[in-house]
Structure 1
Amino acid sequence: MRRPALYSSSSHDRRGNDAPDAPEADPPAQSPPQELPLPARTSRFSRLAARFPAYNLYLLWSVIALLALLLAISFSLSLHPPGRKLTQHDINAAVLKTLETTTLPSAAAKAYQVISPSVVRVVGQGREKDGKDGSKEEGERSVGTGVVIVDKGIILTNLHVVQGAENIKVTFSDGLESTASIVGIQLENDLAVLQADKIPDDMIAATMRSTADLAPGDEVMAVGYPFGIGPSASAGVISGLKRTFRSPEGKQQMTNLIQFDAAANPGNSGGPLVTMDGEVIGIVTAIYNPNQQRTFVGIGFAVPIENAASAAGMPPF
């Protein structure tokens, strides 16, 4: 773009002469021509500086800088044209590549991560003879599992784990130990409700889920302290519903139980049976022992959480 002409208010022309209508004097005839010194050449910037105040020059350079920036941006865009719009195919391909190159945790691992903060070790303590002088010392009479169902420290477990104990001790997932007391029982389902005397500051209660839509083959996981070791997790499936179980001594018969095949052993009693979402659907209560060896043979039983929660006075689903 051509730059507009710059004008000055001076009455002299650009060579410093008078205005064009002034007559020019004739040079002397007898004097030989003399070479006159050329006027000093001035730069365009100097001429502009002479004709414009300082703030106008600042504005001029600002305009020049802006034009240069716009030119640079235009040049950059010409070298790097904007990418094409992402399509659903592009998104699907990226997701598939991520799934192929990333190892995701298993469903059981995710379920364990959800439920483990709510699982507690339950110990029934009592005094027994030490075998030396006939004196009695407090020791572990029974070891089982419990699950926190209310974040103020309400715990569900099996009645046979704590029945007859002189003291009850619970250990939370963060290592905090506390005494606990029985605040409710449900004899027909071998359930006890405990209240811990101390709880962690960040106590997390388990989420309970209705068993109404459960079906054989659904994946489940049992979490507890088998033989006092744990917390331990074992995964399996629901083997059947509405089962009946009679205790080995024949003293008690329980009905409407969930049958499952996730490994359970003495010490799992009172622990949660959970879905792959980590939600509690039952309380592990018994294992089938046809040979009386107290080891798992593939058949375990759990009280549906609807029945178990009612022992704590909680409304059904």
Structure 2
Amino acid sequence: MRAQSSDKTKGPPLRERIKQLRARVRPFIPLVAGMVIAFAAMFIYDFATPAGPRMSEQRVNELVANAMASATPPPSFASRAYEMIAPSLVRVEAQLTAGDDKRAYGTGVVVDEGGAILSSLHIVNRAFKIEVVFYEGTRSDASIIAKSEEQDIVVLRARTPPQPLIPAILGSPGALRVGDEVFAAGNPFGIRNSFSAGVVSGLNRNFKSPKTGATLANLIQFDAAANPGNSGGPLLNRDGEVVGIVTALYNPTDQEVFIGIAFAVPIDAAGGAMGSPPW
């Protein structure tokens, strides 16, 4: 005899279970519908929008190089000024008497393609023999072709200069202001092609030489380091243009070393003092 199943063990009718399932799912229907719509929109956009061209390896390298260049600081004004003036620098050597190896040393700067060299007169005045050494090492005898004692300026010409000569670019000292950055290039104590930085400390200065008693007028005062051997060298503005010729340093003691005060003849005066137009 089979046992009859009890009503208590029977589950709810199928219709009731479907109704309960719908009740549980109903809150999620808007979310699912929204996701379906979003994915459909993305698919349609990607399908309708043409793909852009692939970036070549060369283009990627260019973009990286440009990014690196923008992140790398440019050279300083000082380094650019030195690069401009270096090929025009000359070391001046003056043999004082015949048969004597004693020499006076200074600096000069090439100012035209013909080989004119501006320097300070006190280096070569009364010298028995003058030699110049160019930037790349060429050595040549030189002679005086013009001079001005009032400005302590001399123009030298080398007998056998190297070719091609690279003249310096000349600027306007009238544009200088106190506080402007300037650079001195030369051969302090015979150390070739040295470079120092400072500022314009004053304008229209007068300086009386303790050796000769002569007074130089309308000078540029600056505080870039200048020592014996710098005389005749260029004073440069921040663009690398020659605005003066270093002529003297001031030291109230008997020691001829730099203490922060030096003077340069303005480049326009250096040209005008010899009866020629400024370079």
The bucket for the TM-score relative to the shorter chain is: 0.7 to 0.9
1:53-72 correspondence to structure 2 within 5 Å: none
1:137-286 correspondence to structure 2 within 5 Å: 137-249=99-211, 251-286=213-248
Please give the secondary structure, in 1, of the residue aligned with 2:272: helix
Give the unaligned 5+ runs of structure 2: 1-47, 54-62
Aligned counterpart for 2:88 among listed residues 104, 114, 118 = 118
Aligned CA RMSD, in angstroms, stands at 2.4
Distance 1:94 1:259, change over 3 A: farther
Give the unaligned 5+ runs of structure 1: 1-77, 84-92, 129-136
In the alignment, the residues of structure 2 paired with residue 194 and residue 291 of structure 1 have an alpha-carbon distance, to the nearest angstrom, of: 32
Contact 1:220 1:238 in 2 (8 A): yes
Which amino acid in structure 2 is aligned with residue 308 of structure 1? A
Which amino acid in structure 1 is aligned with residue 179 of structure 2? G
Question: How far is 1:80 from its partner?
Answer: 7.7
Please give the secondary structure, in 2, of the residue aligned with 1:150: coil
Distance 1:199 1:311, change over 3 A: farther
Which amino acid in structure 2 is aligned with residue 106 of structure 1? S
In the alignment, the residues of structure 2 paired with residue 80 and residue 153 of structure 1 have an alpha-carbon distance, to the nearest angstrom, of: 66
Please give the secondary structure, in 2, of the residue aligned with 1:189: coil
Question: How far is 1:138 from its partner?
Answer: 3.7
Question: How far is 1:79 from its partner?
Answer: 10
Which amino acid in structure 2 is aligned with residue 283 of structure 1? I
> TM-score by structure 1 length?
0.66
Query: Which consecutive segments of 4 or more residues in structure 1 shift more than 2 A?
Result: 78-83, 93-101, 310-314
For 2:253, the equivalent position in structure 1 comes to: 291
- Give me the identity figure in percent: 49
Question: How far is 1:159 from its partner?
Answer: 0.7
Contact 1:192 1:311 in 2 (8 A): no
Which amino acid in structure 2 is aligned with residue 118 of structure 1? S
Question: How far is 1:141 from its partner?
Answer: 2.2
Question: How far is 1:267 from its partner?
Answer: 0.4
Question: How far is 1:99 from its partner?
Answer: 5.4
Which amino acid in structure 1 is aligned with residue 218 of structure 2? N
Q: Which deviates more, 103-112 or 166-175?
A: 103-112
Please give the secondary structure, in 2, of the residue aligned with 1:282: strand
